[in-house]
């Protein structure tokens, strides 16, 4: 293990002290834990670790945290825990700089409150008809999330009363000040009882933020993710900018390009682990998941198979990966960008062990760029950007790798036996070029994965067979078809039926109800770089 890798602690990976315990330890009760379990969180993020107990204890909190650190849940969990469902008055007011953030925060709070009956969460922001918001507010809501301007508007109209507020949250306080909401914020806070509990989150703690805190927070606890010196192992670090929906396709292509070796894919939640595993399997990879909910015996079984090389891809959460010590992991994928820089280092510490070089591939979506910059800053390394390889690149490299293997085999010699056989075939009138070409095609078919043979002409019940105007001669393989159809339509891979590839055409069974939509989408798309016709 490298010195930065977390030590192996059985008590952390054993299911008996499972994921929920790590949240229970913060002081959260059953209904919130149930919501966390449904969200698939395995352990509190560093900011939650510090902020939740303080907030539950009634302390004011200044949290230095950016988006992506789990800050919303850091204040959301204690709020949901502490508001009184029996009281319909507004008990918590959460101020956010933008309507997008207000909606996001409301969604997360809604999810966290799912198992506490009687809690209503209402976002109010400019751009939405104010009358509709009034109707909702009139019915009573304990948690109100809003942008300062619209919140003030409601206060002035008398449709939002803050005199029963027990909690105030300033989310992305620095952003709100930058946007000129200072006076609005103070006016709103002055409308709330002064004995309320106040939580302030901000990416930066400027003198202006300090002044605001001085005025409105009482003896606050300050929490932040602490940054230690982090050493990064000998690993080539690359990032790819992708949309969330493109990640699985990008992962498949990168896996196709890596010759053999073991890949470890990290996700932030066990839900994502399950999702990635099932999507990879649908695309023909042997993938298994590892997460904190699994029994020790299940994990041991998965790990043994991974070590033995029976699994190409292991998909894991950070918690589950703590038990992993496998030599020769060639590539680590950050399918989800980790919530903390330190996790990043732990993750990529799984490759490049013992002086070997490895690769770390990180997927970054547009709004996560700042987080990547933070990771580079604290790890003092450069993560270089690369483009996701195109399908043509994948094909090119695969052919190239095969040619390399051919060259090596020729150089190694010992081919006399095979030469004798070929000579026999050539006596039947075939040219050596023809034989070699046929062998290549058979090899290519095999690499493409199993096709079901037998020429079934009727589709499986509940599905419709769509015909694609490209096949083996255009080097289309079942995996390409499934990848394109699942990737472009968003329909899970396992929902597709039989895939057949013939010389110049192929077919795929798609769910009947989706057939028209699939034809519509796929008629404008390409497989292996070529436009295709899709017909029923």
Q: How far is the CB of 173 from ligand AMP (least distance, A)?
A: 14
201 binds ligand AMP (CB under 6 A): no
Residues in contact with ligand AMP, counted by CB under 6 A, come to a total of 15
- Could you list the beta-strand ranges (E) of 147-241: 167-170, 197-202, 221-224, 235-241
Q: How far is the CB of 45 from ligand AMP (least distance, A)?
A: 5
Q: How far is the CB of 125 from ligand AMP (least distance, A)?
A: 17
The DSSP code for 8 is P
73 binds ligand AMP (CB under 6 A): yes
71 binds ligand AMP (CB under 6 A): yes
From CA 87, how far away is CA 470, in angstroms rounded? Answer: 64
Q: How far is the CB of 531 from ligand AMP (least distance, A)?
A: 37
Q: How far is the CB of 271 from ligand AMP (least distance, A)?
A: 10
41 binds ligand AMP (CB under 6 A): yes
Give helix then strand counts, H and E, for the chain: 22, 20
69 binds ligand AMP (CB under 6 A): yes
Exactly one of 68, 78, 358, 493 binds ligand AMP (CB under 6 A); that residue is: 68
Question: Measured from the CB atom, is 125 or 496 closer to ligand AMP?
Answer: 125
Residue by residue, what is the 3-state secondary structure of 61-84? EEEECCCCCCHHHHHHHHHHHHCC
Q: How far is the CB of 239 from ligand AMP (least distance, A)?
A: 18
Question: Measured from the CB atom, is 71 or 283 closer to ligand AMP?
Answer: 71
**Cβ(292)–Cβ(10) below 8 Å:** no
- Ramachandran quadrant class, 230 (left: phi over 0; alpha: psi -120 to 50; beta: rest): beta
Cα 394 to Cα 141, 475, 528, distances in angstroms: 54, 12, 9
Exactly one of 18, 26, 35, 45 binds ligand AMP (CB under 6 A); that residue is: 45
Q: Residue 58 contacts by C-beta under 8 Å, 6 or more apart in sequence?
A: 197
Question: Measured at the alpha carbon of residue 319, what is the angle toward residues 316 and 321, in degrees to the nearest 5?
Answer: 50
- Ramachandran quadrant class, 194 (left: phi over 0; alpha: psi -120 to 50; beta: rest): alpha
Question: Measured from the CB atom, is 104 or 495 closer to ligand AMP?
Answer: 104
From CA 303, how far away is CA 36, in angstroms rounded? Answer: 27
Question: Measured from the CB atom, is 70 or 97 closer to ligand AMP?
Answer: 70
Order of strands across the sheet that contains 167-170: 121-124, 143-146, 92-95, 167-170, 197-202, 61-64, 221-224
Question: Measured from the CB atom, is 51 or 287 closer to ligand AMP?
Answer: 51
50 binds ligand AMP (CB under 6 A): no
Q: How far is the CB of 485 from ligand AMP (least distance, A)?
A: 28
Question: Measured from the CB atom, is 73 or 251 closer to ligand AMP?
Answer: 73
The stretch near ligand AMP (CB under 6 A) out of 27-35, 40-48, 322-330, 499-507 is: 40-48
269 binds ligand AMP (CB under 6 A): yes
Interactions with ligand AMP, residue window 104-133 (CB under 6 A): 108
Q: CB atoms < 10 A from the CB of 47, how many?
A: 24
**Cβ(476)–Cβ(470) below 8 Å:** yes
334 binds ligand AMP (CB under 6 A): no
Report H helices in 246-340.
247-257, 270-282, 296-307, 318-321
Exactly one of 5, 19, 33, 44 binds ligand AMP (CB under 6 A); that residue is: 44
Q: Residue 69 contacts by C-beta under 8 Å, 6 or more apart in sequence?
A: 45, 46, 47, 225, 339, 340
67 binds ligand AMP (CB under 6 A): yes
Question: Measured from the CB atom, is 375 or 527 closer to ligand AMP?
Answer: 375
Q: Residue 296 contacts by C-beta under 8 Å, 6 or more apart in sequence?
A: 13, 14, 15
Measured torsion, CA atoms of residues 52, 56, 58, 64, in degrees rounded to the nearest 10: 10
The stretch near ligand AMP (CB under 6 A) out of 67-75, 211-219, 238-246, 468-476 is: 67-75
Exactly one of 13, 50, 72, 279 binds ligand AMP (CB under 6 A); that residue is: 72
Question: Measured from the CB atom, is 67 or 298 closer to ligand AMP?
Answer: 67
19 binds ligand AMP (CB under 6 A): no
Interactions with ligand AMP, residue window 434-463 (CB under 6 A): none
Exactly one of 53, 63, 70, 471 binds ligand AMP (CB under 6 A); that residue is: 70
From CA 350, how far away is CA 328, in angstroms rounded? Answer: 9
272 binds ligand AMP (CB under 6 A): no
Half-sphere exposure of 338 (CA within 13 A, CB side): 26
Q: How far is the CB of 74 from ligand AMP (least distance, A)?
A: 7
Q: Residue 292 contacts by C-beta under 8 Å, 6 or more apart in sequence?
A: 13, 15, 18, 19, 42, 43, 270, 317, 319, 320
The stretch near ligand AMP (CB under 6 A) out of 1-9, 61-69, 186-194, 296-304 is: 61-69
**Cβ(478)–Cβ(284) below 8 Å:** yes
Question: Measured from the CB atom, is 12 or 395 closer to ligand AMP?
Answer: 12
78 binds ligand AMP (CB under 6 A): no
- Interacting residue ranges for ligand AMP, rule: CB under 6 A: 41, 44-45, 48, 67-73, 108, 268-269, 339
């Amino acid at each position: 293990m490298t010195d930065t890798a977390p030590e192996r602690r059985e008590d952390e990976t054993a299911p008996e002290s499972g994921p929920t315990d790590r949240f229970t330890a913060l002081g959260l009760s059953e209904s919130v834990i149930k919501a966390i379990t449904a969200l698939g969180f395995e352990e509190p993020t560093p900011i939650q670790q510090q902020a939740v107990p303080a907030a539950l204890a009634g302390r004011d909190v200044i949290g230095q945290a950016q988006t992506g650190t789990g800050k919303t849940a850091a204040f959301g969990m204690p709020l949901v825990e502490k508001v009184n469902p029996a009281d319909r008055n507004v008990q918590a007011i959460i101020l956010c700089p933008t309507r997008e953030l207000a909606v996001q925060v409301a969604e997360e709070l809604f999810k966290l409150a799912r198992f506490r009956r009687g809690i209503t969460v209402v976002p109010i922001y400019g751009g939405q008809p104010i009358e509709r918001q009034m109707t909702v507010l009139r019915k009573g809501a304990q948690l109100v999330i809003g942008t300062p301007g619209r919140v003030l508007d409601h206060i002035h109209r008398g449709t939002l009363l803050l005199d029963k507020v027990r909690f105030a949250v300033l989310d992305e306080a620095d952003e709100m000040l930058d946007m000129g909401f200072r006076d609005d914020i103070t006016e709103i806070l002055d409308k709330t009882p002064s004995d309320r509990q106040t939580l302030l989150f901000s990416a930066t703690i400027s003198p202006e933020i300090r002044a605001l805190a001085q005025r409105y927070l009482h003896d606050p606890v300050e929490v932040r993710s602490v940054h230690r010196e982090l050493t990064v192992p000998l690993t080539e670090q690359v990032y790819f900018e992708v949309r969330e929906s493109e990640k699985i396709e990008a992962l498949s292509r990168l896996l196709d390009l890596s010759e053999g070796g073991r890949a470890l894919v990290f996700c932030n939640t066990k839900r994502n682990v399950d999702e990635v595993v099932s999507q990879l399997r649908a695309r023909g990879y042997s993938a298994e998941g590892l997460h904190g909910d699994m029994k020790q015996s299940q994990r041991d079984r998965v790990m043994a198979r991974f070590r033995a090389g029976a699994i190409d891809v292991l998909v894991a959460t950070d918690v589950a990966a703590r038990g992993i010590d496998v030599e020769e992991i060639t590539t680590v994928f950050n399918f989800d960008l980790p919530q903390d820089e330190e996790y990043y280092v732990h993750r990529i510490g799984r490759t490049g062990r013992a002086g070997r070089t490895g690769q770390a591939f990180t997927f970054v979506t547009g709004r996560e760029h700042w987080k990547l910059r933070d990771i580079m800053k604290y790890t003092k390394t450069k993560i270089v950007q690369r483009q996701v390889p195109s399908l043509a690149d994948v094909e090119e490299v695969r052919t190239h790798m095969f040619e390399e293997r051919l060259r090596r085999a020729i150089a190694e010699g010992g081919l006399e036996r095979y030469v004798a056989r070929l000579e026999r075939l050539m006596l039947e009138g075939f040219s050596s070029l023809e034989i070699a070409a046929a062998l290549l095609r058979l090899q290519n078919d095999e690499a493409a994965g199993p096709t079901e043979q037998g020429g079934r002409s009727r589709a499986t019940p509940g599905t419709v067979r769509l015909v694609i105007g490209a096949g083996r001669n255009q080097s289309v393989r079942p995996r390409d078809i499934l990848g394109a159809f699942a990737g472009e339509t968003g329909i899970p891979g396992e929902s597709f039926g039989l895939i057949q590839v013939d010389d110049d055409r192929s077919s795929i069974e798609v769910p009947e109800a989706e057939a028209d939509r699939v034809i519509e989408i796929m008629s404008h798309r390409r497989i292996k770089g070529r436009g295709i016709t899709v017909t029923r």
